[in-house]
């Protein structure tokens, strides 16, 4: 099974002008999906939702958020007009059954800084039932997931969509592409001002678009 892997840049929101600049860099380079995060946490979630909704309407593109500081249970009950909702925490089947969010739900699976599953197969079975996209990571921010971890999760998930949300770079993207559905990227393509460096995004996209040797 070879998957058409897609890049989703993660924009760490500082202000609307900075978000706009990043979105326009993405669109100019053929990327039409973004996630927005505000590290100010729960106190800024309302503003984050408002900004994300307006950017989605203005640019007619796929926009999602990670509402830091809100529990996975509460996040899923939000009735918001956005395309993606990403939570680091693990969802349960009960959370999924009570969801009001209608877009794609990216739910944490063996995610950084979260309790790690004792049984990966069982955790993947739960993710199939409680997420639209099972989302894993390396051990920390900017740290890559090992290929062994990714292959184990893919094996247990089968055809269920999967994402990686840390440490993706031009060095390891050849190992991930064709295996995972989405690569959520921030650290390797942004500067200290949280602006996407066009050359870095172009380089990453070019690496993703190279022919697969099967």
What gap in Å lies between CA 107 and CA 89, rounded to an integer? 7
Q: Which of 214, 213, 189 is nearest to 202 (CA)?
A: 189
Taking only the tens place, the pLDDT of each residue in 25-57 is: 999 999 999 999 998 766 789 999 999 999 999
pLDDT of residue 180: 97
How high is the mean pLDDT of the chain?
A: 93
pLDDT of residue 43: 73
Provide long-range contacts, Cβ within 8 A and 24+ apart, for 166-173: 166/112, 166/137, 166/138, 166/140, 166/141, 166/142, 167/137, 167/138, 167/142, 167/143, 168/144, 168/204, 169/144, 169/204, 170/203, 170/204, 170/207, 172/144, 172/147, 173/204, 173/207, 173/208
Average pLDDT value for residue range 7-23: 97
pLDDT of residue 214: 53
Kindly tell me if the per-residue pLDDT of 204 is higher than 90: yes
Helices (H), 36-146: 45-59, 72-76, 93-97, 120-130
pLDDT of residue 41: 64
Model pTM score: 0.94
Average pLDDT value for residue range 57-74: 95
Q: Which of 1, 122, 8, 110 is nearest to 62 (CA)?
A: 8
187 near 9, Cβ under 8 Å?
no
pLDDT of residue 2: 76
Q: Which of 122, 119, 120, 85 is nearest to 102 (CA)?
A: 85
Kindly tell me if the per-residue pLDDT of 114 is higher than 60: yes
Average pLDDT value for residue range 88-117: 90
Q: Which of 214, 207, 213, 195 is nearest to 26 (CA)?
A: 195
138 near 112, Cβ under 8 Å?
yes
104 near 74, Cβ under 8 Å?
no
Q: Name the architecture of domain 6-69+79-209.
A: Alpha-Beta Barrel (3.20)
Instruction: Please calculate the CA angle 111-203-113 and round it to the nearest 5 degrees.
Output: 10
Average pLDDT value for residue range 80-108: 91
Extents of the domains making up the chain: 6-69+79-209
Taking only the tens place, the pLDDT of each residue in 154-190 is: 999 999 999 999 889 999 999 999 999 999 999 999 9
């Amino acid at each position: 099974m070879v998957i058409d892997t897609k890049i989703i840049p993660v924009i760490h929101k500082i202000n609307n002008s900075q978000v706009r600049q990043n979105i326009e860099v993405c669109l100019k380079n053929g990327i039409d999906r973004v996630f927005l995060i505000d590290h100010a946490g729960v106190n800024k979630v309302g503003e984050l939702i408002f900004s994300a909704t307006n950017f989605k309407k203005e640019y007619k593109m796929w926009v999602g958020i990670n509402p830091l500081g809100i529990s996975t249970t509460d996040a899923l009950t939000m009735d918001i007009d956005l395309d993606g909702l990403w939570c680091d925490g693990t969802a349960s089947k009960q959370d999924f059954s009570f969801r009001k969010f209608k877009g794609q739900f990216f739910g944490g699976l063996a995610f950084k800084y979260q309790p790690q599953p004792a049984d990966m197969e069982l955790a993947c079975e739960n993710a199939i039932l409680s997420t639209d996209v099972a989302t894993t990571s390396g051990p920390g921010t900017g740290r890559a997931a090992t290929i062994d971890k990714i292959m184990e999760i893919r094996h247990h998930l089968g055809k269920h969509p999967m994402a990686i949300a840390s440490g993706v770079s031009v060095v390891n993207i050849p190992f991930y592409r064709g295996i995972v559905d989405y690569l959520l990227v921030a650290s390797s393509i942004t500067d200290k001002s949280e602006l996407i460096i066009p050359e870095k995004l172009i380089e990453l996209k070019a690496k993703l678009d190279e022919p697969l040797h099967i």
